[in-house]
Amino acid sequence: MKLAARVSQVTPSITLAIAAKAKAMKAEGIDVCSFSAGEPDFDTPVHIKAAAKKALQEGKTKYGPASGEPKLREAIAKKLRTDNGLDYKAENVIVTNGGKHSLFNLMLAVIEPGDEVIIPAPYWLSYPEMVTLAGGISVIVPTSASTGYKITPEQLQKAITPKTKLFILNSPSNPTGMVYTPEEIKALAKVVVEADIFVVSDEIYEKIVYDGAQQLSIASLGEEIFNRTIISNGFAKAYSMTGWRIGYLAGPVDIIKATITIQSHSTSNVCTFAQYGAIAALEESQECVEQMRQAFAQRRQLMLERLNAIPGLSCPKPDGAFYLFPDISKTGLKSLEFCDALLQEQQVAVIPGVAFGADDNIRLSYATDMATIEKGMDRLEKFVKSRI
């Protein structure tokens, strides 16, 4: 059968492919150090699993509203009010099958052919693909280590055209781990409001920040920007619930309603009993979030020290998420070549920066144990030394 043209316009996720390759090598008995995963290595906290089990036993096994369980929408709105100072109600929220699905729904709901979406690079690899699938045009704005891989207000201003519909902001960032300061967020908000465009604020790593860094939601900076922001968030990273597939969008009611319509004809509701786990995640103790954050903080320290001690590699200190994004250009290799050779020669799995729009970098996830980090860094050091 002749496939639809849209299939050839997108590429399969490189991160998922590499993670799968590393898993397959492990299954063959090969001692692989994998820094490819975009997920916490912890199990989902026990009280969250217990709440989902209880819901399952109580027969919460039927179709629910496409918009999400009312109790979960309420709990999310409350979280956004108390944690982020945002005046949302349940009607401003849709529960989706993960943050990825949130963004996909949103693109389908708002992008028309030819609409431009501004995406700072390095970017999370699914953003441009989703824009393409929705018929839009990604306007990629490259950033560099000199600005902490953050887009400046001047760069944003310059990228705006009459066709601009959205600007995607991701802080803390995947892949760089960088967190925009409140001042930087304010300056970007000013440009968004003046240009009368919308901003998608992907806040999925909001709970994973270090050294007192503050994750400020751009929507909290006044009514004008609030009315022009759609927040995407989820449970995967903060609560180690990647496989549960629960995320959400929050924003103006008309936009949320449009995403509910789209969702009602694609996936319908998110797994009903899983949503009860998410309610417990929000309503019960947040101690588990802090414990995981502290573990990530220690690992970040170790991996960053080891990485920056390798001659030829350099990596700025990120304030959030669980990724490092070093520059590998001194090895003379481009990122795909680097990653393939590293996996073959030293059995270390990392993600090529080209997947994120930055071919001189690689992404390492430190969401793994300290012993694996030590071993993997020994191997990476050997590999880089053999190339320089």
Ligand X SMILES: Cc1ncc(COP(=O)(O)O)c(C=O)c1O
Q: Would you tell me which residues interact with ligand X (CB under 6 A)?
A: 38, 98-100, 124, 170, 174, 202, 204, 234, 236, 242, 247
Omega before 172 cis (within 30°)? yes
> Rounded distance, CA 241 to CA 74, Å?
20
What DSSP letter does each residue of 13-42 carry, written as one string? -HHHHHHHHHHHHHHTT---EE----S-SS
Residue 339 beta carbon to ligand X: minimum distance, rounded to whole angstroms: 18
Task: Please identify the residue of the shown chain whose CB is closest to the bound ligand X.
Answer: 98
Residue 100 beta carbon to ligand X: minimum distance, rounded to whole angstroms: 3
Residue 174 beta carbon to ligand X: minimum distance, rounded to whole angstroms: 4
| Residue 269 parent element (H or E) | none
Name the nearest CA neighbour of 267 among 96, 91, 92: 96
Residue whose CB is less far from ligand X, 156 or 231 = 231
Residue 38 beta carbon to ligand X: minimum distance, rounded to whole angstroms: 4
Label residues 228-252 b or e (16+ Cβ within 10 Å = b).
bbbbbbbbbbbbbbbebbbbbbbbb
Residue whose CB is less far from ligand X, 316 or 320 = 320
Residue 123 beta carbon to ligand X: minimum distance, rounded to whole angstroms: 9
Residue whose CB is less far from ligand X, 38 or 353 = 38
Angle at 346 between CA 29 and CA 23, to 5 degrees: 40
Residue whose CB is less far from ligand X, 64 or 175 = 175
CA distances to 125, 128, 195, 319 from 137, in Å: 15, 8, 18, 30
Residue whose CB is less far from ligand X, 356 or 383 = 356
Residue type, 247: G
Residue whose CB is less far from ligand X, 51 or 270 = 270
> Rounded distance, CA 382 to CA 45, Å?
37
Residue 311 beta carbon to ligand X: minimum distance, rounded to whole angstroms: 30
Instruction: Write out the two tokens for 144.
Output: 């560099």
Residue whose CB is less far from ligand X, 11 or 57 = 11
Residue whose CB is less far from ligand X, 64 or 247 = 247
Report yes or no: 209 and 172 within 8 Å, Cβ to Cβ: yes
CA distances to 61, 68, 237 from 230, in Å: 30, 17, 19
Residue 246 beta carbon to ligand X: minimum distance, rounded to whole angstroms: 7
Residue 203 beta carbon to ligand X: minimum distance, rounded to whole angstroms: 9
